[in-house]
Chains A and B, each alone.
Chain A
Amino acid sequence: MDFFLDLLVGGLTKGSIYALIALGYTMVYGIIAVINFAHGEIYMISAFTALIFGSILSSVGLAGWGLLFAVIAVSALYAAMYGWTVEKIAYKPLRGSSRLAPLISAIGMSLFLQNFVLLAQTPNYLPFPALVPDVPFPAILTRHASDTQIVIILVTAASMALLTLFIKKTRMGTAMRAVSQDLEMARLSGVDTDKIISFTFITGSVLAAVGGVLIGCGMRQIDFYIGFLAGMKAFTAAVLGGIGSVPGAVIGALILGFAESFAAGYISSSYEDVVAFAFLILILIFKPDGVMGAATTHKV
């Protein structure tokens, strides 16, 4: 039972991170129907930015919660800048072209960012500092979860809540929903669709940045390649939940997190990624509309 609970918490933590990334995929796909391959790299870059600014900010005297939130804020800012720039360079000029072009451009962008970090930083793993301060959580919680895991889950939950509020309550959120329903229609009714698309990339990148900082704290080491795998898995989660659906992405991410955690715990950890990819393939082939999305007949 203890082992089971450990795995459960592990899965929940993993799922939370996947959820933060999956939201970026699902929102971008919902709006421009492009798999933003570079999204995983934004997450990776955020982790590196966090590492660097964590070091700089702690040397000027920040510590504890202040340090953690300052690092998240700076990483989010930079992630937003990267996300926005990526959209402008690699996707915007391709609007209205064939379906292959943005996909290839996205793969190219992902490769570029990966190697940019590899060259500018290092091809090796880097140790990530413990940014999460000690918290006196009640013992019932800390029996199976570390402080960091609890913080990851809580921060994720808070981010989700904020995002939901943002989408449901603000003008921008309403416009985003309108654009994802029907981009052409939204444009005709006076929505600045370019602005909305940029903003979607920014929102997704900010969430990925939160995920990037948290995964650094959780795994305690990062390298330039973490974005690829996490990106793939988060995309799986987004599809599993029904791509384009925000709550779906969260549910999909949690399912994937649990599946992976239990597979690693009860089968073999060397097959963890095989399980993830098998999941990915099976979902895309047999459940491309996701568990939440209703089966749709594509219009001709």
Chain B
Amino acid sequence: MTPRAESKHPEIGAGAAPAGAAETAGAFGLDADPILFSDSLRMDFGGLTALDQVSLTVERGSITALIGPNGAGKTTFFNCVTGIYKPGSGSIFFLPEKEKRISLGGLRPHKAAQLGIGRTFQNIRLFNTLTVLENVLIGCHARMRAGLWGALFRDRKTMEEERRMTDLSYAILERYGLQARVNDPAGSLPYGEQRRLEIARALASGPSLLLLDEPAAGLNNQETLELADLIRHIRRDEKLSVLLIEHDMSLVMNVSERINVLDYGRLIASGTPEEIRKNPDVVRAYLGEDADDLG
């Protein structure tokens, strides 16, 4: 898949990575195998700089967290990765396979999804009046091929595909404990199940990178513990990498292998949970009550 060339930022759309990016990638040494990395990413809204020279990396197969106070630019980073925003400058690369590097800057959102980047939203965004099964089936959209002809004439290939995807969706729902809910309107589900359904929908597209935006928001302690298990399960069963935005420090420290800390749009720290816990900059950014969460 060739990335769409952007007239304004030819260097982002070009197949060859800019020199700076190559250095960043090289800095990880020979065994480095990132699935996603950004280089000097910058994003402005009017006068406000939401992201400022953010260079971070998600290792293939890892669970990586992105934390920071409110308004630090975490969701903006997600939106740049998924193509909802076009970054002002800098670059983001996605590597679905080790040797295949795709620039994400300015890629349209559905293209990013088709490449294998699934996501959930901070404020759950399900297709509320559609059934749970349909939500997941729409998640399969990128895997399906049927077009207008197939829809109108229901040829064998189309019906076979429908059946396969319905079974797949059902299997996904079963795996995440939603099989009793297949015919319920998604909007009628309780909060925790809506969160799970949103993850299931994202998984239906068969992503290799899953972006979770505050999945623990609104969950109680028990549910958060279950969520931690769920995230580990997903990583193992679906063989994918997870990038997680989260405020709940217990969850972050519990599941993630690497943590990146954003503050006022800048990446102020990056490392293992142990390193982050001891990092004075991070503690300063989280001064006050939140500082205890790190301990």
Output the least CB separation between A297 and chain B (Å): 6
Q: Which residue of A lies closest to B78 (CB)?
A: A300
Tell me whether B45 and A300 are in contact (CB under 8 A): no
**How far apart sit A294 and B46, CA to CA, in the bound complex (Å)?**
8
* Residues in A264-300 with C-beta less than 8 Å from chain B: 294, 296-297, 300
From A294, A296, A297, A300, B75 is in contact (CB under 8 Å) with A300
* Residues in B59-99 with C-beta less than 8 Å from chain A: 75, 79, 84-85
B121 at the interface (CB under 8 A from A): yes
Q: Which residue of B lies closest to A295 (CB)?
A: B46
Q: Which residues of B contact A294 (CB under 8 A)?
A: 46
Tell me whether B46 and A300 are in contact (CB under 8 A): no
Q: Which residues of B contact A297 (CB under 8 A)?
A: 45, 85
What is the interface residue range for chain A against chain B? Answer: under 10
Q: Which residues of B contact A296 (CB under 8 A)?
A: 46
Output the least CB separation between A97 and chain B (Å): 12
Chain A interface, >50% SS class: loop
Q: Which residues of A contact B75 (CB under 8 A)?
A: 300
Q: Which residues of A contact B121 (CB under 8 A)?
A: 300
Output the least CB separation between B71 and chain A (Å): 12
Q: Which residues of A contact B85 (CB under 8 A)?
A: 297
What is the interface residue range for chain B against chain A? Answer: under 10
Output the least CB separation between B42 and chain A (Å): 14
Output the least CB separation between A98 and chain B (Å): 9
Q: Which residues of A contact B79 (CB under 8 A)?
A: 300
Output the least CB separation between B124 and chain A (Å): 13
**Using an 8 Å CB-CB cutoff, how does the interface string of A65-85 with B read, 1 for contact, 0 for none?**
000000000000000000000
Output the least CB separation between B74 and chain A (Å): 13
Output the least CB separation between A101 and chain B (Å): 13
* Residues in B73-131 with C-beta less than 8 Å from chain A: 75, 79, 84-85, 121
Output the least CB separation between A184 and chain B (Å): 13
Counting chain B CB atoms within 10 Å of each CB, which of A294, A296, A300 scores highest? Answer: A300
Output the least CB separation between A298 and chain B (Å): 9
* Residues in A229-260 with C-beta less than 8 Å from chain B: none
Q: Which residue of B lies closest to A298 (CB)?
A: B84
Output the least CB separation between A210 and chain B (Å): 35
**How far apart sit A297 and B85, CA to CA, in the bound complex (Å)?**
8
**How far apart sit A297 and B79, CA to CA, in the bound complex (Å)?**
12
Output the least CB separation between A197 and chain B (Å): 24
**How far apart sit A300 and B84, CA to CA, in the bound complex (Å)?**
8
* Residues in A44-64 with C-beta less than 8 Å from chain B: none
Output the least CB separation between A289 and chain B (Å): 12
**How far apart sit A278 and B164, CA to CA, in the bound complex (Å)?**
48
Q: Which residue of A lies closest to B121 (CB)?
A: A300
**How far apart sit A294 and B85, CA to CA, in the bound complex (Å)?**
17
**How far apart sit A156 and B267, CA to CA, in the bound complex (Å)?**
54
**How far apart sit A294 and B121, CA to CA, in the bound complex (Å)?**
27
Q: Which residue of A lies closest to B44 (CB)?
A: A297
**How far apart sit A271 and B79, CA to CA, in the bound complex (Å)?**
45
**How far apart sit A296 and B48, CA to CA, in the bound complex (Å)?**
12
**How far apart sit A195 and B139, CA to CA, in the bound complex (Å)?**
43
Output the least CB separation between B90 and chain A (Å): 17
**How far apart sit A294 and B45, CA to CA, in the bound complex (Å)?**
10
**How far apart sit A25 and B133, CA to CA, in the bound complex (Å)?**
41
Q: Which residues of B contact A300 (CB under 8 A)?
A: 75, 79, 84, 121
**How far apart sit A242 and B121, CA to CA, in the bound complex (Å)?**
30
Q: Which residues of A contact B45 (CB under 8 A)?
A: 297
Q: Which residue of B lies closest to A294 (CB)?
A: B46
Output the least CB separation between B126 and chain A (Å): 14
Sample of 6 more A-B contacts, CB < 8 Å, known A297-B45, A300-B84: A294-B46, A296-B46, A297-B85, A300-B75, A300-B79, A300-B121
Instruction: Point out residues on B near A: beta carbons under 8 Å.
Output: 45-46, 75, 79, 84-85, 121
Sorted from nearest, which 7 A-B pairs have the closest CB atoms? A300-B84, A297-B45, A300-B79, A294-B46, A297-B85, A300-B75, A300-B121
- Provide a sorted-by-A list of 7 A–B residue pairs whose CB atoms are within 8 angstroms: A294-B46, A296-B46, A297-B45, A300-B75, A300-B79, A300-B84, A300-B121
